[in-house]
Structure 1
């Protein structure tokens, strides 16, 4: 079985599993306890925070451990908005954000905040000039994802961070769940104030995530309870998962340059093979790099549509052939509605309702991509009678 759904979740690395099992077995004491066993757990917690900080090039106190990307995004956005509402109530985000961001902004609208949702171009990317045009005197937060979880479109984070410099009352949040360990990330250089990541996207344990907050950035706590994680995330820390998370991120960031090169080659091969299947339509740019040489598409994601065909039909037929892919994001895969992301890119209903996502992992090679391409051709050929029976749906 070929697993091509790494954007949804990745198989945990063996080294990470061993580390987590060892800590679970030996260091089960509460890190808040004052006895020796508790102090040993606290030391492991501090060490894990230092490993994360070193991997990202920041201070250790900038990091909070959470239960995953969704909680991190909620803590960053809700915390920033509520903490700074005295300075303003205007927020800026995009129409293509992950549900954990998009729905959080909707909740803030119900609290009386004004939200500007920026459109994207046909390739799924926003224009930094539109961000600048949307800013108002009372804008307190701009939130833009780094890599779109459906199409793989990469947003111009460095350019946005540059235009926000000098606006001390406007915080910049970046959802990095699909980019950490896959693309270069420069938190300080790019002027990022808040950054979120998730361990199970890079070979780490599920239910473990990160929230970065630049020095001096204060957030209103979302949860009430004890004083763990500097009062930001009350509740007994999951020390085994946190230590395993630190190991996973250290490994992922060390391996990122080579991983990006490998994934880029695999993506180019699959995109080239998709050109030979006229029923399928690639969503987003063909090339990883844009005309200026900037990274425009994530190297580990290929997204395409089969207009007029239900995506679950394609997914199940590929699974019968030994290939696991997905539709939309894992959080939205059971929805029959057209993709909100593809609609924002201006795609007609036939395309927006039939998206398929392929996402690569470390185990994939040229042979795996070639096998997937053959399976796609066989699947399309097998569905041809159904197409003729129902008639092709116009895509323009």
Structure 2
């Protein structure tokens, strides 16, 4: 199997597995217990917290959650403010915005947001603006520092979904809250975090023992925390090398798919995401026919819905164009040979449809 779905999830790094293993075996104590074994588990959690915080702005705290979806819900629901968001946000944001009768604002044909446009479409004064740093479907990188400044100029708070950026590039200062996830950076599934700037007050959304800084109830998993921390530490060490590798793979893949059109910005983009379309291609059928390759037609969260991607529609694409688009995601463990083999198989299957 050639795995090209890095936006959906990433392979677990051996270093992350090694960090988790002791806490899955002998170190099974509850990290909220007062005895020695519990204190040792709690110490492992705090080491991981520091490793993760090292990749985030200064002047905030890391709150562990079950994943980015919970982190986003805690941020939006917990601040208790009216919310606006970009039309291309992840469902974890858009569904909460809809639930709260919030608003969305548009992007341009490259998927980018102009700070002036965002400001004009947002609610002024005591509101929350939510914009992701790197789009999960098209890889577009938003000017987060400028967008956060525009929100602050209106008296608003700013939430950034940095799931697809964390560990892959520096996270800009400016947001008041940042949602991240372990399994997108070669860590384990089932754990994420919300970074909250000092001075920002949130209302807990999960009641019980309040174990996680009074903001989240439930027993933390030292193993998941350790795996997340190890993945973050490794990402920090390998950030430049990973970026160079991904950029080389992008050049190779873009050349191999020269007959396709790239969706989203090519200049302001994370190069591990290649979202492309070709008129006359049925993306769902293509995925079915290329069974030895793992790739997608968009977000894994919307897989199988049959609906065209809301992100691609927000760019101005027709339903037919959206349904003829595929997303190839690659990263640290992808090889050039895998790109070549996948491109050959996908192009041959696409040609047969035309």
Residue 283, structure 1, aligned to residue 283, structure 2: no
SS at match of 2:241: helix
The residue aligned with 2:27 is 27
Deviations 1:27-63 (A, max 9, x none): 111112121111111121222212222333535x600
The residue aligned with 1:77 is 76
Deviation of the 1:200 alpha carbon: 0.5
The residue aligned with 1:323 is 293
Residue 213, structure 1, aligned to residue 183, structure 2: no
After superposition, where does 1:195-274 map in structure 2 within 5 Å?
195-274=178-257
- Contact (CA 8 Å) 1:162, 1:191: kept in 2 or not? yes
TM-score (norm 2): 0.95
TM-score (norm 1): 0.85
The residue aligned with 1:42 is 42
Given the alignment, which residue of 93, 105, 118 partners 2:97? 105
Given the alignment, which residue of 276, 284, 296 partners 1:312? 284
The residue aligned with 1:293 is none
Distance (Å, rounded) in 2 between the aligned partners of 1:196 and 1:241: 17
The residue aligned with 1:54 is 54
The structure with the largest alpha-carbon Rg is 1
Given the alignment, which residue of 130, 138, 146 partners 1:143? 130
Deviations 1:212-243 (A, max 9, x none): 00001111111111121111110011111011
After the TM superposition, list the runs of 4 or more consecutive aligned residues in structure 1 that deviate by more than 4 angstroms. Answer: none
Between 1 and 2, higher relative CO (CA 8 Å, sep ≥ 6) is seen in 2
- Contact (CA 8 Å) 1:180, 1:253: kept in 2 or not? no
Distance (Å, rounded) in 2 between the aligned partners of 1:126 and 1:106: 20
Residue 124, structure 1, aligned to residue 111, structure 2: yes
Deviations 1:152-185 (A, max 9, x none): 1111112112323455x41110001111112221
- Contact (CA 8 Å) 2:245, 2:331: kept in 1 or not? no
Deviations 1:42-86 (A, max 9, x none): 121222212222333535x60011111111111111112x2xx4x
Deviation of the 1:373 alpha carbon: 1.9
Given the alignment, which residue of 135, 159, 164 partners 2:146? 159
Distance (Å, rounded) in 2 between the aligned partners of 1:309 and 1:377: 10
The residue aligned with 2:329 is 359
SS at match of 1:56: coil
Given the alignment, which residue of 302, 322, 341 partners 2:274? 302
- Contact (CA 8 Å) 1:274, 1:282: kept in 2 or not? no
What's the Cα RMSD here?
A: 1.6
SS at match of 1:45: helix
The residue aligned with 2:84 is 92
SS at match of 1:231: coil
Gaps of 5+ in 2: none
Residues matched between the structures, number: 354
Distance (Å, rounded) in 2 between the aligned partners of 1:27 and 1:57: 31
Distance (Å, rounded) in 2 between the aligned partners of 1:47 and 1:351: 47
- Contact (CA 8 Å) 2:97, 2:103: kept in 1 or not? no
